[in-house]
Chains A and B, each alone.
Chain A
Amino acid sequence: MHRIVEKKQLADTITLLKVEAPLVIREARAGQFVIVRLDEFAERIPLTICDTDRSRGTITLIIQQLGRSTKDLCALKAGNSIQDILGPLGNPTEIEKFGTVVITGGGVGAAELYTAAKALKENGNKVIAIIGARNKDLIILEDEFKAVADEVLITTDDGSYGMKGLVTDALKKIIAGQTVNRIICCGPIPMMKAVTGTARPYNIPTIVSLNAILLDATGMCATCRCTIEGKVRFSCVDGPEFDGYKVDFDELMVRNNRFLEEEKRALET
């Protein structure tokens, strides 16, 4: 059992949990995730390790309420427990000195890039973070990114905060003004596709962190298979990060919809 030691509401539908998971911390690196199973009846849900606190033996999980399982997790309180946490899983983010790196996070995707931003900064990169969301309320971790990045740009679709527009609008501005050596991106699939499209004419290496449906997450079931440069790859063990230029985003979008009806049914119970 993994006790929740702290809970913070980052937005109406976005919850931060600090959870005891001492075993996970030992090998955890930026970009890796855990599989969480709340109780005997719950699904296995992948969540990025957003931060680790070695002294307390906790990991930070940031959860957006989307379906039954995320709703149940968001309803937990400090002192409650999560039955199973498996991890760290997936390949860590490649961290070296690239030069200028733009971190592009859409919605709760920003949370997944925080440890990468920190590690990239520690490795001597200039880190520019773009955090985008539909509106001001959904912008998360602004202060945290400000503490580790050289520059933080906020975009909102409705202009309620920061620059009005999409993350790609901010990205275009940055690319126009300076050399960018690498882009790392996490968010909704259409956004990752758009960021990759924006970067392509400039040939800037663009890494995307995919959010395929997972089950065992150890390479055994292939439910997370995606097409990378025409080849089948498992997001759980070959990813979750891939070269954005090679990803078949349209297929992933269709595959991620395959249990929509069941998700609705589960939410009604």
Chain B
Amino acid sequence: MKDFKEVSLGFTEEEAVREAQRCIACKKKPCCNGCPVEIDIPEFIRLVARKDYKGAIRKIKEKNNLPAVCGRVCPQETQCEALCVLIGKGKGGPVAIGALERFVADWEIEHSPHPSLSPVGGEGKGEGAAKVAVVGSGPAGLTAAADLAKYGYQVTLFESLSASGGVLRYGIPEFRLPRAILDRETGYIESLGVEIKCNILIGRTVTLSGLFEDGYKAIFLGTGAGLPYFLGIPGESLNGVYSANEFLTRVNLMHAYEFPKYKTPVKIGERVAVVGAGNTAMDCVRVAKRLGAQDAIIVYRRGEPEAPARRAEIEHAKEEGIEFRFLTAPIKIEGNEKGEVKSMTCLKMELGEPDASGRRRPIPIRGSEYEMPVDTVIIAVGQGPNPLIAHTTKELAVDDKSGELKIDENCMTSMKGVFAGGDITTGEGTVIAAMGAGKKAAAAMDSYLKGA
């Protein structure tokens, strides 16, 4: 496995139509309750069954501004599909809603080469419409920006990195979300009238009060969970220890896998241990394998059933030859005389009673300590809310413990006219949950601006 080409193939037209025809169009539509952005799922599926793909994509885009992304990275198996009435009735399991969404989105990409040809909404925007600012171009920001544009506002979306997409760009690798698909989706958002400005760090380049001075009437903060957590064990400052964010940013955003054509390096050696078992950990370990690691190993202190990654991601990793060491907890990282990682010492664990998270608590097995030789350690154990905007804006109230921005029931922060949503207010969550938050905040901002 050396290339970064997309791994999962989508439905063919024939497969999609056959799958869509499995939907029994039940009255209660429980699947819709599982969708944070409220797509009319049975209706788009009905249109697929009738081969009206154009109608289907329009139906999805009424609610979801990033269908080709969601069709790929949403955990449908725990959301819409988990509520399908076909489950448990000997009827072949839930309708593959996610795969159908992807099929429809990809159909549009193939048949309508210019994203500007297919905006839904966005009409009737007045010249004198109020200016609004959206900060952060990840899933929450893109969604809020698109919805605000559809409501008729003049939207500017600010991004600190050199390209838009946030975690979709720097975090999720090409083989799970091709850049061409992402570019197309952000292009669609621009076609709705959203102006995307990169290389601007709100809080530093322009402050929030500066944005108000510049005439923006409301601001949405979707700055995400960008503060990497470490384990707090000895040796984490050794050369060869990366946070997942650093490793993925070097590869995905800066193209380190094409070094030295692209000038940003990444160094991995022969044996790579990735600590953690979430989706980000799976991304890291699969990237490491593609970059030439002979052994790419997941080290996780709980068991496989407790792993937070999607089942499909764990399965893909296994198929690609990733080694899994479950019930294994690192306790220190050792280096050589040059300060480079040479090994990681781990303890074997067993599972005890459930803890606060509801998962069985890992307990160290006495005397089980062993040393595993590794050249690189990637820490992928989650991240906290990005503290920068709160740090540079004293008016923003922050939860002391979590660092999350505090918002009221209308998604407004403690600063008037400043709204927030996504990981910055909830801690690390899914792409679709952040999109749902962006959607909700956009509606709240519309009410606020109409009342103002």
Contact = CB atoms under 8 A, between A and B. Distances in A.
A69 B387 CA distance: 30
Interface in B156-202: 160-162, 170, 198-201
B143 interface: no
B339 interface: yes
A175 B187 CA distance: 61
Contact of B391 (A225, A237, A255): A237
Interface string A205-241: 0000000000110111111011100001000010000
Given A219-B388, A222-B243, A86 B267 contact: no
A37 B201 CA distance: 15
Contact of B245 (A86, A221, A254): A221
B259 A262 contact: yes
B316 interface: no
B11 interface: no
Q: Which of A87, A226, A227 gathers the greatest number of chain B CB atoms within 10 Å? A: A87
Contacts of B226: 218-220
B357 interface: no
Interface residues of B, number: 44
Contacts of B254: 43-44, 215
Chain B binding surface SS class? loop
Given A216-B249, A232-B230, A237-B388, A87 B262 contact: no
Given A27-B205, A86-B201, A218-B388, 14 more contacts: A27-B206, A43-B264, A86-B199, A215-B250, A220-B227, A220-B245, A221-B243, A232-B237, A251-B339, A257-B239, A258-B239, A259-B265, A262-B259, A262-B267
B113 interface: no
Nearest to A32: B204
B261 interface: yes
B205 A258 contact: no
Interface of B: 160-162, 170, 198-201, 204-207, 210, 226-228, 230, 236-237, 239-240, 242-243, 245-246, 249-250, 254-255, 259-265, 267, 338-340, 386-388, 391
B239 A254 contact: yes
Nearest to B228: A222
Interface in A239-269: 251, 254-255, 257-259, 261-263, 265-266, 269
6 contacts: A23-B200, A26-B205, A43-B263, A218-B388, A262-B260, A266-B259
Q: Which 8 A-B pairs have the closest CB atoms?
A: A262-B265, A254-B339, A221-B246, A258-B239, A220-B226, A222-B243, A43-B263, A86-B199
Contacts of B387: 219, 237
B263 A86 contact: no
A255 B239 contact: yes
A215 B249 contact: yes
A89 interface: yes
A226 B236 CA distance: 11
B261 A41 contact: yes
A147 B180 CA distance: 53
A85 interface: yes
A232 B340 CA distance: 18
B96 to A, nearest CB: 35
B246 A223 contact: yes
B205 A86 contact: yes
A265 B261 CA distance: 11
Q: Which of A24, A26, A218 gathers the greatest number of chain B CB atoms within 10 Å? A: A218
Nearest to A86: B199
A227 B263 contact: no
A43 B243 CA distance: 19
A94 to B, nearest CB: 16
Given A43-B263, A87-B205, A237-B388, A220 B249 contact: yes
